[in-house]
Amino acid sequence: MDNQKPQISPLTYILIGIVIVLFLQYLFSNNQTQSPLQFQRSNPTSNPYKDCITWEETEYHDGEYVCVIGKIILVDSRNDDTIHERVWAAYFGASETAFEIREWGNSLEEWQNKCVVVRGELVDRRKQDPAWRNKAPSMVNSDYGTGGFTIGEAPIGLCQ
């Protein structure tokens, strides 16, 4: 009986080498790149919208400075005879009690049908005066209002 070991062909060594190189490349690339979710966990300042609420949650934040995300479904305006200016309103829902923003003098038409981020002081007058029970929580930009707001288009994917 012959105790010779079978010979390993050079092709086998080449294939083993390729597998090792690919495995090392895989390990190295996983350490260098992070998924967006991993990046947000390791870098909490990376998401400026993490503290934002949806427009449906606004009724719970009366008097707070908040960030609100939502799609404006309707913009309209009317003349205010007492201050002699046009008042613009942007609505986030179909009911009268849905969150809204109001602007005196400046049009909000450019925001119609857009997903936006609004930051400002939230006022829910229903909690202050029963006469407002059918009105929406709102943010108001005017010399006559309180707080004010800033508005900008939201990144893709924040609104459903």
Mean pLDDT over residues 65-81, rounded? 92
25 pLDDT band (50/70/90 cuts)?
confident
CA distance 153 to 158: 10
In the predicted structure, residue 133 carries a pLDDT above the cut 70: no
Using DSSP's 3-state secondary structure scheme, residue 17 falls into helix
Q: What is the mean pLDDT of residues 49-57?
A: 91
What are the boundaries of each domain within the chain?
A: 10-46, 53-153
Phi, psi at 13, each rounded to 5°: -65, -40
Lowest mean pLDDT among 3-7, 47-51, 112-116, 148-152: 3-7
Q: Tell me the percentage of the chain whose pLDDT exceeds 70.
A: 77
Alpha helices in the chain (DSSP H): 10-32, 36-42
Pick the CATH number of 53-153 from 3.40.50.300, 3.90.1150.10, 2.40.50.140, 3.90.580.10: 2.40.50.140
d(C-alpha 139, C-alpha 120), whole Å: 7
Joined together, the tokens standing for residue 131 give 């006469």
Q: Which residues are within 8 A (CB) of 148 and not within 5 positions of it... i.e. 6 or more apart? A: 120, 121, 139, 140, 141, 142
- In angstroms, the CA 5 to CA 45 distance is 61
Neighbours of 123 (CB within 10 A): 21
pTM above 0.75, yes or no: no
Looking at residue 143, its pLDDT comes to 61
Amino acid found at 63: G
Residue 110 or 133, more confident? 110
**pLDDT tens digits, residue range 81-111?**
887 888 899 999 888 778 899 898 889 999 9
- What's the pLDDT score for residue 36? 43
41: pLDDT strictly greater than 80:
no
